[in-house]
Structure 1
């Protein structure tokens, strides 16, 4: 399994005391799978995605990615693991405002020691239809263009696991549909395992599997009929 969670719970300390976010989550994600995390606001979808990426630490239980126990790693080890194996796309893009699109995409490649960082970044931007915008800064781009840069940045290191948190949440319908096509296209092109959080039913419907969370618990799971028929 690419991702394996066993009896995972998450509690966070707030001003009003301890808040229980996730309860006893057990879930496996196979290589090449596309998994949609759905459910009402506040159900714990984004928190679960963050646990899968080692961006949040489980209060109890075990989270494994590619056979590595993320719950046993310190922050430096987690950062190195993400750099080598994961791409993360956030709803709010998280681009560096003082860097051009090309520099934003090339930066993680440079940190990983890639000698051809800028060539690969340029190719990835071209693949998402932004070959003509490589020298532009985030403030000079639309929301859809910024999300394309974020997708290119996540995909450029050829990650084994691609995590996306509401990737179409801040976009209009037409732009959101274009981003959906790009997201699944990147998955197909690089063979990454894709896990995404979404409220968009049409995006969830494109996933091989869908898991529904309610009040921090796995309520149900469904598999796309076409995927089941092919197995």
Structure 2
């Protein structure tokens, strides 16, 4: 089995805008090693989030090759991509995307139930306990702070024990102190579950904690990838 859990070759992305086609990504080639933590950085509009979405099969590349765990994502239909994400990936968004009519416990248990786990609620409860939200199991998203909602979102992504964890600006909607706590939690989940972590961030302190950083500008990876500061 390859040591690369994600492998992109000559990936392009073209989207239709009001004035015609817009080139979002230009020939991105990138490998992510098993167990690595990779940060994607760059100015707004550089293509970071689009690249992350392509890695997760949430956006289809216009051209090139995208492989995850040796599987060709470009050859999968939407149903196959959804099953692949369910079984192998956890995704965390800046805006949480919790289901408002479900409690914290139900939100975390949902992907486990969809995967057929018989102990979905026990595992969800244990995950929430582990991140300090055992007292908030029955609370709805509207009853929780932004930091608490992001912690629930992280627990939901990590509970199925995914091999790949993708995070798009996970601290973007949080204040500095709460954001630092979420970063500690995110890396703690990575260490506890052994997932490969790819994250998009504007925060230098968060990028510095990654094993490697790739800088994007105008849809291109700028030169060689850079090792994060020690």
Which bracket does the TM-score occupy, shorter chain normalised? over 0.9
What pairs with 1:156-195 in structure 2 (closer than 5 Å)? 156-195=159-198
> Could you tell me whether the CA contact under 8 Å between 2:212 and 2:226 is conserved in 1?
yes
Q: Partners of 2:21 and 2:40 in 1: how far apart? A: 24
2:42 aligns with: 39
Aligned length: 226
Runs of 4+ aligned structure 1 residues displaced above 2 Å come to none
Give the secondary-structure state (helix, strand or coil) at the position aligned to 1:157.
Answer: coil
What pairs with 1:123-162 in structure 2 (closer than 5 Å)? 123-162=126-165
Give the secondary-structure state (helix, strand or coil) at the position aligned to 2:27.
Answer: strand
Which stretches in structure 1 are left out of the alignment for 5+ residues? 227-231
Which stretches in structure 2 are left out of the alignment for 5+ residues? none
Residue 101 (1) aligns with residue 137 (2):
no
Residue 224 (1) aligns with residue 202 (2):
no
Q: Partners of 1:216 and 1:112 in 2: how far apart? A: 35
Give the secondary-structure state (helix, strand or coil) at the position aligned to 2:136.
Answer: coil
Instruction: Answer with 124-133 or 192-201: which moved more.
Output: 124-133
Q: 2:207 aligns with which of 183, 199, 204?
A: 204
Q: RMSD across aligned C-alpha pairs, in angstroms? A: 0.7
Q: Partners of 1:15 and 1:117 in 2: how far apart? A: 45
Residue 56 (1) aligns with residue 30 (2):
no
Residue 77 (1) aligns with residue 86 (2):
no
Residue 113 (1) aligns with residue 116 (2):
yes
How much has 1:225 moved relative to structure 2? 5.5
Give the secondary-structure state (helix, strand or coil) at the position aligned to 1:84.
Answer: helix
1:67 aligns with: 70
Q: Partners of 1:224 and 1:42 in 2: how far apart? A: 22
How much has 1:224 moved relative to structure 2? 3.2
How much has 1:127 moved relative to structure 2? 1.2
Q: Partners of 2:189 and 2:99 in 1: how far apart? A: 22
Q: Partners of 2:101 and 2:152 in 1: how far apart? A: 14
Give the secondary-structure state (helix, strand or coil) at the position aligned to 2:135.
Answer: coil
Give the secondary-structure state (helix, strand or coil) at the position aligned to 1:132.
Answer: helix
Q: Give per-residue Cα distances to partners, 1:160-219, cap 9 Å, x unaligned.
A: 000000000000000000000000000000000000000000000000000000000000
How much has 1:16 moved relative to structure 2? 1.4
Q: TM-score, normalised by structure 1?
A: 0.97
How much has 1:223 moved relative to structure 2? 1.2
